[in-house]
Structure 1
Amino acid sequence: MSRGGLAPDFLTITPTPQQLQQQHAAYPPQHHPQQFNPYGGAGGMDGSGGPLRWGVLNVFLRDAVLVKSYSLLKMDPFVQLQIAGRSARSATATKGDKNPRWNQTVSLTVPNGHSHLVLTIMDEGMTSDKAIAHCTINLEEAFTQRNVPTRPYDLQGKNPSEGSIQLDLTFLPGAILQANPVVYSSGDLFDPADYGSVPTIIMPQQPPPMMYQPQQPMRYNTQPSPQQDDAQRNQQALELRTMFPNLDLEVIRSILDSNNGNADTTLTTLLEMNEAHVDESST
């Protein structure tokens, strides 16, 4: 309808500031700002739309079932983990033998372009450690799913089948591991001073930075008391006696004490004594 010579805003109601505020409250603007993703990119993706393949991998080691014991005494297994030259290790499952339990998390840096985790179960010795079994895990599922639930992984070694190890994986894409990769425990007898400080993981994000700090484990005094040390040597002497029934238990214990409780050295000494006795008998 033509208004002739009337002003353009004739009959147009101009709302007051209070009315404008009420209108905005009743009808909020449809604005959805892009939220920052702490994992880097959109949903932890790289520039091409695929998942980021570098960051921090948390490996929760549960337990293992080994087919064979490669020690005359009970084995003391620990797990060595390696990704592209970067390595870390678990605490030792003392006398875990063929059924070691760790229940511990180990953190490792995953560099770009590397997608395989190598695990080696080692038997800790007084002078040197011995490899028992190993497996290689493809990390593609961890890259895409971020969380891989607990499952067994087959182990190989001297034989095609050496048992299995149970673990689960958590991948933090784009995260940075500040300290040297070490283990932190869920409550077993474990002193982090033996392995360094607990790692700090920084998630990539805008300032202020968000820190991922694993819970500091409780520190335990793992130094055996004299009573514990004496009981352990008695047990070692009894185990050695089963292999040398013709030797007096006190003789075995005396040799064990002279070797400062080193069962491997004591075993070597007893074998030499046994061979000498056999040679004398044959002559």
Structure 2
Amino acid sequence: MFCIIFQLLLGDLPADFLRLAVPITATGQPQQQVAPVVRAPTTVLITDPALAAQHNLIQAQWIDTDENKKTEETTKQKEAFQHAFYSFVPPNTRGRISITVVEAKLAKNYGLVRMDPYCRIRVGNAVFETPTDIHGGKAPKWNRIVNAYLPHGVESIYLQIFDERAFTVDECIAWAHVVLPSAVFNGEIIDDWYQLSGQQGDGKEGAIDLIVAFTPVEQSPQVAIESTTQPQQQNVAPPRVLFTEEEVKELHAMFPSVDVDVIRCVLEEKRGNKDATVSAILEMTSE
């Protein structure tokens, strides 16, 4: 037998129910309303299986509708984040690089218990970190994708593996200077292991598995038209200041891992708009 419990409020309606006018006494003072007496809720049992099934169906439809709305909102937020990342291209950018930090095989476990390793990667002036693999020990697995802009002239990345500590400073247990393969700039996806260095020696601390892909970007060239004649000297008003050094310092304090020159470039791109600059830097430094 299906049984559903409802709560009904029983009581008398007030005298002025659904009335707009307020009664006036003989003294000219408005009559005070008397609060309605509310009785204790009464429990009603529905024992009809058909009604119970219909009620359960309605509740399930409400739950499904609410979950669908949440899923649509999450999808729209992800699409907005992706559009913000791919729509803005900083100056002096060669392309977008995608680095998947898969796993590592370390030579030694530093510490009394199993290590909690995480990986830190520097691409140009941007720094990214993977989540910590709790008790990952000598075989941590991350499977984390890092998307970054690769500036012109940058042909390598630098990575470090740290052991996260609870009461002391995190210890750097391995590092590597990875030169980007030339094939990756030809559209190939490179999946390879790279040797790690550390206390055991150069290339003797283990290896890390990285999947690297590169997508070039096209920037509209700025063509400067120079006159062959001697230009006449004219009184030109000084350009309007889009941002100040105090704003640059403030943003650098918010993002200490981002170089000051990069912050200036983003501010110039966003025409001094601090909110747009913060959003762009967050997208650049997000995982």
What interval of TM-score do these two structures reach, taking the shorter chain for normalisation?
0.3 to 0.5
TM-score by length of 1: 0.42
TM-score by length of 2: 0.42
